[in-house]
């Protein structure tokens, strides 16, 4: 195992030894190539550079209490990548190819899988881009599928469940009702870069988007889904324009296991005055408690139209959900939903 300062890792990139890639050309995928060269010389006319022909995934791999290496729900990521690629009319790898290449790149970088005792994990970033030269606006006919691996900590280093603030800027939309919001494509993230920069410069951890039709319903954060706990009910937005989060889906199952009621429905921002616990959830953030949501008419304004405040610590029900998810990922709980794929390395 590499001698890294695991406790100092945050959610940022650390160079590992290998990436893996395969290219689709003339109707077939090339054999996967493990390489130490992290650059790839493709044409400056590639569709990914001009027309956003790009989709990606994010998943995590853990060293368990028994020393075994566990990958969390990779089939779900594979299926979601295929769905995103379909939206871009880009050739995607099969579920089998996605998983085979994921296992290969984990094994090649196994020395970077953090020790069990830490809160860190090995993050995998599968990326699918259109690479053939083109000028006209059309989908790419040749694609490249790459998987990178980087050890990561949480957004707060080795501390977990550190509460953060969020802001709503009603003058920025993330996705239109019939648009691309439910796909994990680069274009959705491009939309959020500028307002995120403003929110971060104002000291907020997160940017919370409302639906672009009524400007009143909670959609999701730029980086993650939203869920709240109201009494014994887990509530999370139902919308055609948010990413179907694998973490959120897992949490809904676990909430039911714990005897909670689960509601996936429209959630007006004003309902935040009545909820007990608010959180962001996703592979990168796991569960991050939200301690305040500031609602602004214009993100750039100093004034806040209305604030919703929550406890400055993770709520008890959210904490139980967190412990379950981490328990599956780290092997301290029995994998009763069959969510774990063991990696032989
Ligand atoms: C916009 C957005 N929503 C939600 C999520 C959470 O999805 P998942 O739980 O599958 O990581 C992510 C990624 O982590 C995201 O980028």
pLDDT score, position 158: 82
Give nearest CA residue, ligand 1 atom 5.
Answer: 224
Q: Count the domains in the chain.
A: 2
Kindly report the three-state secondary structure assignment for every residue of 104-133: HHHHHCHHHCCCCCCCCEEEEEEEEEECCE
What are the residues facing 154 on neighbouring strands?
157
CATH number assigned to the domain comprising residue 126: 3.30.470.10
d(CA 262, CA 126) in angstroms, rounded, equals 31
42, 189: one domain: no
If you measure from the C-alpha of residue 232 to the centroid of ligand 1, how many angstroms do you get, rounded to a whole number? 24
Q: Ligand 1 pocket test: pick from 54, 56, 57, 58 the residue with the most ligand atoms within 8 Å of its Cβ.
A: 58
Q: Looking at 152, 184, 203, which one is the last position of a domain?
A: 152
> Dihedral sign, CA of 82, 87, 89, 90?
negative
Ligand 1 pocket list (CB less than 6 A): 58, 220, 223-225, 243, 245-248, 282-284
Q: How far is CA 314 from each of CA 22, 99, 228, rounded to the nearest angstrom? A: 42, 34, 11
Whether 46 maps to a domain, the answer reads: yes
222, 300: one domain: yes
pLDDT score, position 41: 79
Positions of E strands within 206-314: 206-210, 218-221, 225-230, 233-237, 261-265, 277-282, 286-296, 306-309
What are the residues facing 293 on neighbouring strands?
166, 308
Give nearest CA residue, ligand 1 atom 4.
Answer: 224
If you measure from the C-alpha of residue 282 to the centroid of ligand 1, how many angstroms do you get, rounded to a whole number? 5
213, 265: one domain: yes
Whether 338 maps to a domain, the answer reads: no
Atom of ligand 1 nearest to the CA of 188: 1
d(CA 334, CA 322) in angstroms, rounded, equals 15
Whether 344 maps to a domain, the answer reads: no
d(CA 277, CA 163) in angstroms, rounded, equals 11
> Which residues touch 137 (CB under 8 Å, ≥6 apart)?
51
Atom of ligand 1 nearest to the CA of 248: 9
Whether 1 maps to a domain, the answer reads: no
Per-residue pLDDT of the chain (345 residues; tens, 9 = 90+): 999 999 899 999 999 999 999 999 999 999 999 999 999 878 999 999 999 999 999 999 999 999 999 999 999 999 999 999 999 999 999 999 999 999 999 999 999 999 999 999 999 999 999 999 999 999 999 999 999 999 999 888 788 999 999 999 999 999 999 999 999 999 999 999 999 999 999 999 999 999 999 999 999 999 999 999 999 999 999 999 999 999 999 999 999 999 999 999 999 999 999 999 999 999 999 999 999 999 999 999 999 999 999 999 999 999 999 999 999 999 999 999 999 999 998
d(CA 179, CA 7) in angstroms, rounded, equals 40
Whether 267 maps to a domain, the answer reads: yes
> Which residues touch 109 (CB under 8 Å, ≥6 apart)?
16, 17, 18, 122, 149
User: Domain range holding 12?
Assistant: 6-152
Q: How far is CA 40 from each of CA 82, 146, 174, 300, rounded to the nearest angstrom? A: 23, 10, 30, 39
> Which residues touch 275 (CB under 8 Å, ≥6 apart)?
228, 229, 230, 235, 310
17, 128: one domain: yes
If you measure from the C-alpha of residue 224 to the centroid of ligand 1, how many angstroms do you get, rounded to a whole number? 4
72, 93: one domain: yes
pLDDT score, position 156: 81
CATH number assigned to the domain comprising residue 197: 3.20.10.10
82, 141: one domain: yes
pLDDT score, position 111: 98
If you measure from the C-alpha of residue 43 to the centroid of ligand 1, how many angstroms do you get, rounded to a whole number? 30
If you measure from the C-alpha of residue 185 to the centroid of ligand 1, how many angstroms do you get, rounded to a whole number? 11
Q: Looking at 87, 122, 152, which one is the last position of a domain?
A: 152
If you measure from the C-alpha of residue 134 to the centroid of ligand 1, how many angstroms do you get, rounded to a whole number? 31
Q: Looking at 152, 180, 197, which one is the last position of a domain?
A: 152
Whether 185 maps to a domain, the answer reads: yes
Give nearest CA residue, ligand 1 atom 12.
Answer: 224
Give nearest CA residue, ligand 1 atom 1.
Answer: 223
240, 103: one domain: no
d(CA 183, CA 116) in angstroms, rounded, equals 32
Q: Ligand 1 pocket test: pick from 55, 72, 184 the residue with the most ligand atoms within 8 Å of its Cβ.
A: 184
pTM of the complete model: 0.97
Q: Ligand 1 pocket test: pick from 223, 281, 322 the residue with the most ligand atoms within 8 Å of its Cβ.
A: 223
Whether 158 maps to a domain, the answer reads: no
Whether 159 maps to a domain, the answer reads: no
């Amino acid at each position: 195992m590499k001698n890294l300062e695991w406790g100092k890792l945050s959610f940022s990139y650390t160079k590992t030894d290998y990436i893996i890639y395969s290219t689709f050309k003339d109707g077939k995928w090339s054999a996967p190539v493990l390489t130490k060269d992290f650059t790839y010389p493709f044409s400056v006319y590639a569709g990914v550079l001009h027309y956003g022909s790009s989709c990606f995934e994010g998943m995590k791999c853990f060293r368990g209490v028994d020393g075994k290496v566990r990958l969390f729900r990779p089939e779900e990521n594979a299926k979601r990548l295929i769905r995103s690629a379909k939206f871009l009319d880009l050739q995607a790898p099969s579920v089998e190819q996605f998983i085979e290449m994921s296992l290969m790149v984990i094994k090649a970088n196994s020395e970077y899988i953090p020790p069990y005792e830490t809160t860190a994990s090995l993050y995998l970033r599968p990326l699918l881009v259109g690479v053939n030269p083109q000028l006209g606006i059309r989908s790419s006919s040749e694609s490249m599928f790459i998987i990178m691996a980087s050890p990561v900590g949480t957004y707060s280093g080795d501390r977990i469940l550190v509460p953060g603030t969020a802001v709503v800027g009603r003058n920025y939309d993330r996705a239109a009702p019939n648009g691309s919001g439910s796909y994990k494509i680069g274009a959705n993230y491009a939309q959020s870069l500028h307002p995120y920069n403003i929110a971060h410069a104002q000291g907020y951890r997160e940017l919370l988007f409302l639906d672009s039709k009524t400007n009143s319903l909670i959609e999701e954060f730029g980086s993650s889904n939203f869920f709240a706990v109201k009494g014994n009910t887990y509530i999370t937005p139902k919308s055609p324009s948010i990413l179907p989060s694998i973490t959120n889906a897992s949490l809904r199952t676990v909430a039911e296991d714990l005897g909670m009621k689960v509601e996936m429905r429209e959630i007006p921002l004003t309902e935040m005055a009545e909820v007990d616990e608010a959180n962001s959830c996703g592979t990168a953030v796991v569960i991050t408690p939200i301690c305040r949501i500031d609602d602004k008419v214009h993100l750039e304004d100093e004034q806040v139209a209305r604030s919703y405040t929550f406890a400055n610590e993770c709520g008890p029900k959210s904490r139980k959900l967190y412990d379950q998810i981490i328990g599956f990922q780290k092997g301290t709980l029995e994998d009763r939903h069959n969510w774990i794929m063991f990696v032989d390395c």
